[in-house]
C-alpha cells in the first residue's frame, strides 16, 4: 500500500511539471511565490506559472518554472497572493443589461411602496395615456411578496397605462387594459399559450401569464443607437472583469446582440470571451426555423474562435419561478404571492412534446448545442424526454452536450437521466439566495428538497455550471440578478437565503473546490472548451485572477466578500483594483 501511495503521489507531481527540453519556448512573464489554485484534475495548488503570448507555458514550483526564464522574461513576485483561473458566467443577457438605464436611472425597489412611488414619479413626467413600464421587478424580492394590485397602480397613475413586467408575466392597471381592448368579457382561446388571472368573481386581476402580446404598449423611452449599445456593452464588460469574469455565455442572443458582440470583437475591444446561444422560436414554421439555423451555421462566428463563438441555441419551454409560471409536475397551489386562484394550475408550457423533439434533433444535427429555459420540474422532465427520444431513436446525444437552462426544480429521476445521457446544465445560485425564503413559504420543505440540488448533481457526475442570468443594470451586486461569482460560490457552500438564519436543505451544499469548479472548468466544459480554458494548466489560455484572500481557506462567510485585485485575459491585464476601491 505504501509503494502504491508513493507511486500515485509521484504521478501527480509529474503531471504538474512543465515539460522542458532544449527546444522548449521561453516565457514572456513568470509569476512566482503565489498560492495558485490550478483547478486541474487533482485540484492542485502550486507556487508559480509562466505565460507566453496568450497561454500558460508552464505550471509548477518556483524552481521548475524559472527554467523557462530568459534575460527578457519579466518576473513578477505574487508575495503569497491567491490566484485562480479566470471566472466564467454560464448565463448572461449582457446587451440588454448594458442599456437598461440608458433613458433614466431606475431606483432599487424593495417593497410595493417603492414600486408605486416610481409609478407616481413617472406619471408626473409623462403625458396622459403615455405608458409607464417597469421591467423585472420580481415579486419574490419585494417585502410583501406579491404583485402590485390593479387598484394600487390605478391610484398611483389614474391617467396612464402601467405595465409591471416580471419575467414572462405582467401586471397592469385598468387604463392599460382599457387601451388594449381587454375587459372582463374577454374570452381566452382554449389553445392559447397565455392566461389571464381572475378573482373569485371572475373579474380580471390585471395579471397576465405570458400575455404581454395582448397589450397595445407604446414605448416612450429613448433607444440607444447600435454604436451606443456597443459603448455601453464595453462598460459592462469592464465591470465583469472587476469581479474576475473573463468568459460569459450569452443565452438567448438576438440578432442585435450578435451584432454588438461582433462589433467589439472586430475592433479588438472584447475583453471577455463569449459563447453565444442564438435566440430561436420553436413555435415558428418549420421552414422558418430551418432557414434561421442554416443562416447561423453559415455565419463565420460559427467557426471556433476563443473570443467569440456562435455555437448554441436557446428556446423557452416554460415560464418563471419568480413569477409563478414555471411548469411543474404538481399544481402550484392557490397563492396570494403569485396571484394564483386555480388549484389545478401547474404553470405555463410553451412547446408541445413532438415539436420539442423535432426541434432539438434539428439543432443538434446542425452542429448547435441545444438548450431550453426549463425552470419547473415538469419542463425539466419534458426536455429530458425529448433528449431521450433522440438518444434512443436517432443518435447518442452525449457528444453534443445537450443542456438544460435553469432547472431549478428537479427530481432524483431527472438527475439520473442527465447522468445517463450526458446532459449538462447551467444554474443560478443567486436565485436561492434572493428567492429561497419565498419559495419555502410557497412550497414547503418537501417540495424544495430538489431545488437547485448541487450535491446530488455532483455526486451523480452531472456537469453543471454557475451563472447569474444577469439582465438589468451594470453593477455586480446592484443588478437585478447579481453577477458577483463569489456570492454565487458562497450560496452553494451555505445555501442560506437572505432574510433567513437557517439553510435551505444544507445536505445539498458543495465543497470549496466544487464551488470554484462551478465557475471555472465546469463552465468551460459546458461550452466545449475545457481543453482551452477553465484551469491553470500548460497550453491553456492564460485567463487568471489575483484575489485578496484564499477562498478555499477563509471562513465560509468571507468567501462572498472576496475582492479581485487583478484580472488577466490571455495574459493581458484587463482590470486592476484602484487603491481607493480597496480599503
pLDDT for residue 140: 85
Confidence label for 267 from pLDDT (cuts 50, 70 and 90): very high
Average pLDDT over residues 335-356: 94
* CA–CA–CA angle 247, 564, 105 (5° rounding): 75
* CA–CA–CA angle 255, 261, 265 (5° rounding): 140
Percent above pLDDT 70 for the chain: 95
CA 140 – CA 324 distance, rounded (Å): 10
Tell me: the pLDDT tens digits for 62-108? 999 999 999 999 999 999 999 999 999 999 999 999 998 888 888 88
Using the predicted structure, report yes or no on whether residue 197 has a pLDDT greater than 80: yes
The DSSP call for residue 253 is E
pLDDT for residue 15: 43
Average pLDDT over residues 18-24: 57
pLDDT for residue 160: 96
Using the predicted structure, report yes or no on whether residue 9 has a pLDDT greater than 50: no
CA 67 – CA 97 distance, rounded (Å): 46
Residue 113 burial (CB < 10 Å; 0-12/13-18/19+)?
middle
CA 62 – CA 509 distance, rounded (Å): 35
Residue 229: φ, ψ to 5°: -60, -40
Average pLDDT over residues 457-486: 95
SS (HEC) of 366-413: CCCEEEEEECCHHHHHHHHHHHHHHHHHCCCCHHHCCEEEECCECCHH
Which helix (H) or strand (E) segment holds residue 9: the answer is helix 2-16
Average pLDDT over residues 403-429: 98
List 196's β-bridge partners, or say none.
Answer: 208
Let me know: does 292 contact 285? Beta carbons within 8 Å: no
Full set of structural domains in the chain with CATH? 2-80 (2.30.40.10), 103-214 (3.10.310.70), 224-572 (3.20.20.140)
pLDDT for residue 581: 65
pTM, entire model: 0.90
pLDDT for residue 12: 43
Of how many residues is the chain composed? 583
Using the predicted structure, report yes or no on whether residue 4 has a pLDDT greater than 60: no
Using the predicted structure, report yes or no on whether residue 10 has a pLDDT greater than 80: no
Amino acid at each position: 500500500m505504501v509503494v502504491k501511495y508513493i507511486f500515485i503521489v509521484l504521478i501527480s507531481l509529474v503531471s504538474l511539471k512543465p515539460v522542458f527540453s532544449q527546444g522548449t519556448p521561453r516565457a514572456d512573464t513568470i509569476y512566482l511565490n503565489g498560492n495558485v489554485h490550478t483547478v486541474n484534475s487533482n485540484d492542485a495548488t502550486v507556487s508559480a506559472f509562466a505565460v507566453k503570448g496568450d497561454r500558460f507555458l508552464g505550471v509548477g514550483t518556483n524552481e521548475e518554472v524559472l527554467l523557462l526564464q530568459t534575460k527578457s522574461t519579466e518576473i513578477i513576485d505574487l508575495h503569497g497572493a491567491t490566484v485562480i483561473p479566470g471566472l466564467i458566467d454560464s448565463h448572461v443577457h449582457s446587451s440588454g443589461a448594458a442599456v437598461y438605464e440608458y433613458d433614466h436611472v431606475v431606483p432599487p425597489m424593495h417593497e410595493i411602496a417603492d414600486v408605486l412611488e416610481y409609478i407616481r414619479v413617472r406619471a408626473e413626467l409623462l403625458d396622459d395615456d403615455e405608458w409607464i413600464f417597469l421591467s423585472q421587478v420580481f415579486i419574490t424580492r419585494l417585502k410583501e411578496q406579491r404583485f402590485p394590485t390593479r387598484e394600487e397602480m390605478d391610484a398611483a397613475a389614474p391617467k396612464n397605462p402601467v405595465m409591471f413586467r416580471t419575467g414572462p408575466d405582467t401586471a397592469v392597471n385598468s387604463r392599460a387594459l382599457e387601451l388594449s381592448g381587454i375587459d372582463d368579457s374577454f374570452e381566452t382561446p382554449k389553445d392559447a399559450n397565455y392566461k389571464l388571472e381572475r378573482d373569485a368573481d371572475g373579474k380580471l386581476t390585471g395579471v397576465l401569464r405570458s400575455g404581454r402580446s395582448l397589450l397595445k404598449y407604446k414605448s416612450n423611452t429613448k433607444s440607444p443607437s447600435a454604436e451606443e449599445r456597443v459603448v455601453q456593452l464595453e462598460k459592462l464588460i469592464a465591470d465583469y472583469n472587476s469581479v474576475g469574469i473573463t468568459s460569459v455565455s450569452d443565452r438567448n442572443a438576438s440578432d442585435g446582440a450578435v451584432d454588438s458582440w461582433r462589433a467589439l470583437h472586430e475592433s479588438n475591444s472584447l475583453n471577455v470571451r463569449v459563447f453565444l446561444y442564438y435566440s430561436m422560436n420553436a413555435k415558428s414554421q418549420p421552414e422558418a426555423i430551418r432557414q434561421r439555423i442554416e443562416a447561423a451555421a453559415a455565419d463565420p462566428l460559427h467557426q471556433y474562435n476563443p473570443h467569440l463563438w456562435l455555437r448554441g441555441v436557446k428556446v423557452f419551454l416554460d415560464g418563471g419561478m419568480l413569477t409563478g409560471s414555471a411548469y411543474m409536475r404538481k399544481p402550484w397551489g392557490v397563492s396570494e404571492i403569485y396571484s394564483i386562484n386555480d388549484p389545478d394550475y401547474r404553470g405555463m408550457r410553451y412547446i408541445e412534446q413532438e415539436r420539442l423533439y423535432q426541434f432539438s434533433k434539428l439543432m443538434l444535427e446542425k452542429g448547435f448545442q441545444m438548450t431550453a429555459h426549463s425552470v419547473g420540474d415538469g419542463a425539466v422532465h419534458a426536455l429530458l424526454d425529448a433528449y431521450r427520444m433522440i438518444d434512443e431513436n436517432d443518435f447518442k446525444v452525449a457528444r453534443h452536450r445537450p443542456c438544460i437552462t435553469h432547472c431549478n426544480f428537479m427530481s432524483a429521476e431527472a438527475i439520473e437521466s442527465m447522468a445517463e445521457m450526458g446532459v449538462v446544465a447551467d444554474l443560478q445560485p443567486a436565485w436561492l439566495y434572493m428567492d429561497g425564503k419565498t419559495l419555502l413559504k410557497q412550497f414547503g420543505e418537501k417540495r424544495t428538497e430538489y431545488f437547485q440540488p448541487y450535491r446530488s448533481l455532483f455526486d451523480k457526475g452531472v456537469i453543471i455550471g454557475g451563472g447569474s442570468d444577469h439582465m438589468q443594470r451594470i453593477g455586480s451586486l446592484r443588478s437585478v440578478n447579481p453577477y458577483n461569482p463569489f456570492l454565487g460560490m458562497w450560496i452553494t457552500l451555505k445555501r442560506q437565503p437572505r432574510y433567513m438564519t437557517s439553510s435551505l436543505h444544507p445536505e445539498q451544499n458543495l465543497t470549496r473546490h466544487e464551488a470554484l469548479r462551478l465557475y471555472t472548468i465546469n463552465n468551460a466544459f459546458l461550452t466545449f472548451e475545457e481543453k482551452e480554458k477553465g484551469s491553470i494548466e500548460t497550453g491553456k489560455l492564460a485567463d487568471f485572477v489575483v484575489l485578496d484572500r484564499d477562498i478555499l481557506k477563509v471562513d465560509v462567510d468571507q468567501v462572498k466578500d472576496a475582492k479581485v485585485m487583478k484580472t488577466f485575459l490571455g495574459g493581458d491585464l484587463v482590470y486592476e483594483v484602484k487603491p481607493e476601491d480597496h480599503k
